[in-house]
Amino acid sequence: MIAPRQALRTLALTALLLPAPGLAGGKLDQARDEVRTPPSGSKPDDQTAAQAPYDGDGSSIEDYGSGDACPQDDPDCAHDGIGLLVGYTIGALFYLPHLLIEGPDPRDGWFGGPPYMNGKRGHMVFSRPPWVPPPPPETTPEGDLLIAPVPPPEAPTPAGVSPLALTLSAEYGHDLDNLYKPAAYAMVSTSFRLGLETGWTWFTEETVAGQDWLVLGDINLVWRFAQHETIEWYSGAGVRLMTDDAGWNAGFNFTYGFDAFIANPVVLSASIDLGNLGWAFVVHGRGHLGITRFGLEVFAGWDVIAIGDIVFQGPLIGLRGWI
């Protein structure tokens, strides 16, 4: 017969040897749950209250401030302006960079090889100098125009340029724990501003149950909405994908980023992706600083990927080729 003290000791030892609940799967299993498990529904009472229309009975703002059926001609119906603010913010993210970088007179641009090569200030080559405000026309004391302003002539296409450019990069990332994130990126850019961008990350995690893996990627059609010798600003949309042993999941992806050529040989790159994957909202932000020579760039930075409530983040180091 086993003594009570020995039985307790055996149970304690067994508990220590067994993996804790949820530990065997690790963060990748939690991310899969965010993508493939529908969220729990809200309470019926809350759902009914959120869908109840405003009836214009003169109640306080707190009573119906969450409703979305405010008549525009009712003075008692208050709008908080959040939607308008979001609209202006999104517009400013595109309009202001274009206005500040290109001005009211956009220029045609081409690609002349890797950044800083052949005396370039950055990556792109343009047909004429950046736009500057013209001087005011000269007039007589009576206000008569002396010389009419003449617009500058269009310069010919520079020699030795190409309408296409390609960047290929490979990198290695880590979450400072037991998860590894090798990744690969590619972008095709054209002189008429349209391009194609894709990136794929291979997650590998060491868990109690063994090695787990998951691949996350996106494919986007992008538009270079602001361009200059020293910066290229782009945005676009496409599809986000996830695959593992259980199959594929897909969702929408929006991307926004830039490459800045600060000074020879430094390149600063940053981007943010927003979208969904199955049932999960996905955010992917990254930024890195690199040194480029003869078309090869060595860079280091930080990468953050949030799949629902599960966040993967850590340092990265990589190599990018400019063609």
pLDDT at 177: 85
Q: Which residues are within 8 A (CB) of 180 and not within 5 positions of it... i.e. 6 or more apart?
A: 172, 173, 174, 203, 204, 205
Q: What is the mean pLDDT of the chain?
A: 82
Q: What is the pLDDT of residues 123-147, one digit of tens each?
A: 999 977 665 666 676 776 776 666 6
How confident is the model over 74-103, as a mean pLDDT? 75
Query: Would you state the CATH architecture of domain 164-322?
Result: Beta Barrel (2.40)
Q: Is the pLDDT of residue 60 over 60?
A: no
Res. 103 pLDDT band, cuts 50 70 90: confident
Question: Domain map of the chain by residue range?
Answer: 164-322
DSSP structure class, residue 117? G
Q: What is the pLDDT of residues 62-87, one digit of tens each?
A: 444 444 555 555 555 545 567 677 77
pLDDT at 11: 45
Structure tokens at 10: 């055996």
Give the distance, in angstroms, between the CA of residue 299 and the centroid of all CA atoms in the same chain: 18
SS3 state of residue 88: helix
Contact 226, 236 (CB under 8 A): no
Q: Is the pLDDT of residue 228 over 90?
A: yes
Residue 191, CA distances (Å) to 73, 112, 124, 172, 271 in order: 49, 11, 9, 31, 21
How confident is the model over 183-188, as a mean pLDDT? 98
164: closest CA among 186, 135, 184, 137?
186
pLDDT at 93: 86
pLDDT at 40: 79
pLDDT at 39: 85
**DSSP letters of 201-226?**
EEEEEEETTEEEEEEEEEEEEEEEEE
